[in-house]
Amino acid sequence: MSTEDLRIVWIYPDLLSTYGDRGNMLILAARARARGIPVETIEIRSDQALPDSADLYLLGGGEDGPQALAAQRLNADGGLHRAVARGSVVFAVCAGYQLLGTSFFAKGAAYPGLSLLDLQSDRGPARAVGELHGVIDPRLGLPPLSGFENHGGRTHLGPGVSPLAQVTTGIGNDGTSEGAWRGNLIGTYSHGPALSRNPALADLLLRWATGAGYLPPLDDTWTDRLRHERQVAVAP
């Protein structure tokens, strides 16, 4: 890490930005600053070179055309691959999550992904829209995932990744598992400001990105209330 600040890069907001994707960057920055960690947030457009020296990279959601274009430009740029090789953290939602795999489906055809995670995505029988809840991989030590999904894809995990969660409400990858992770890379179908309902996940990303083994807790009263409300809303 070349600078003192925690550097967070939002990749291609001009292509991959729907439904409040900016939220994840805002939440990570706010939670870091609340602990006295100086933060630099950087938005890199698709016509700019992607710096490979940042600590944390964010990928948002997007439609087919922009998604395919983003994959092409990221593969040509190579910055994200170099950053991952250096151990940088990546958090990707929805279309951004699909991008991390070996291939994804857009505009009726399969496109090569970034091959950073061992998974591939195709089209599902119907669009998955609604609350998405699940029990997160116990090795990550996080409370249940709570979010909202809106996607037409289905994702098939290879042996090189683990599911982020087991679905209790919603579809996620395939109705059973949701999202994927390996090393410092996490992808999820919980779209938009996914971290707004999952502050513990936000803090995990911050610990990975800063190397801090511990971060002092913050007052998450309102988030706890929101999580509880959504949990009650989806209870049978």
Partner 1 sequence: MPLRAKVASSVSRTAAALSRAAGRGDGSVIGGWIGLKIDPELLKHLAAGRSVALISGTNGKTTTTKLTVAALESAGRVATNAFGANMPTGHTSALAKAGATPYAVLEVDEHYLARVLDETRPRAVALLNLSRDQLDRAKEVAMMAQMWREALAHHPDVHVVANADDPMVTWAAYHCASVTWFSAGQRWHDDSWVCPECGGAIERAGGDWRCTTCPLRRPRPQWVVEEDGVVDPTGAWHQVKLSLPGTVNIGNAATALAVAAQFGVRPADAVLRLGSVTSVAGRYAQVERDGRLIRLLLAKNPASWLEAFDMAEAAPTLLSINARDPDGLDTSWLFDVDFAPLYGRRVLITGDRAYDLAVRLQVNGIPFEHVTSFADALAAVPPGRLEVIANYTAFQDIRAELDRVN
What positions carry a catalytic annotation? 94, 191
Q: Give the C-alpha separation, 84 to 27, whole Å.
A: 22
Q: Give the C-alpha separation, 208 to 185, whole Å.
A: 10
- Whether the Cβ atoms of residue 177 and residue 167 lie closer than 8 Å to each other: yes
Kindly tell me which of 15 and 117 has the beta carbon lying closer to partner 1.
Answer: 15
Q: Give the C-alpha separation, 211 to 187, whole Å.
A: 20
Collapse the DSSP code of 109 into the 3-class scheme (helix H, G, I; strand E, B; otherwise coil) and give the result: strand
Written as one letter, the residue type at 68 is A
Q: How far is the CB of 19 from partner 1 (least distance, A)?
A: 4
Written as one letter, the residue type at 94 is C
Q: How far is the CB of 182 from partner 1 (least distance, A)?
A: 26
Task: Check the annotation: does 127 bind a ligand.
Answer: yes
Q: Give the C-alpha separation, 145 to 142, whole Å.
A: 8
Q: How far is the CB of 183 from partner 1 (least distance, A)?
A: 27
Q: How far is the CB of 71 from partner 1 (least distance, A)?
A: 15
Q: Which residues bind partner 1 (CB under 8 A)?
A: 13-15, 17-23, 26-27, 30, 45, 47, 62-63, 65-66, 69, 129-130, 148, 150, 191-193, 196-197, 222-223, 225-226, 229
Q: Angle 120-124-129 (CA atoms, 0-180°, nearest 5)? A: 110
Q: Give the C-alpha separation, 16 to 22, whole Å.
A: 10
145-157 and 119-136 as β-strands: parallel, antiparallel, unpaired?
Answer: antiparallel
Residues at the annotated binding site for substrate? 127
Residues at the annotated binding site? 127
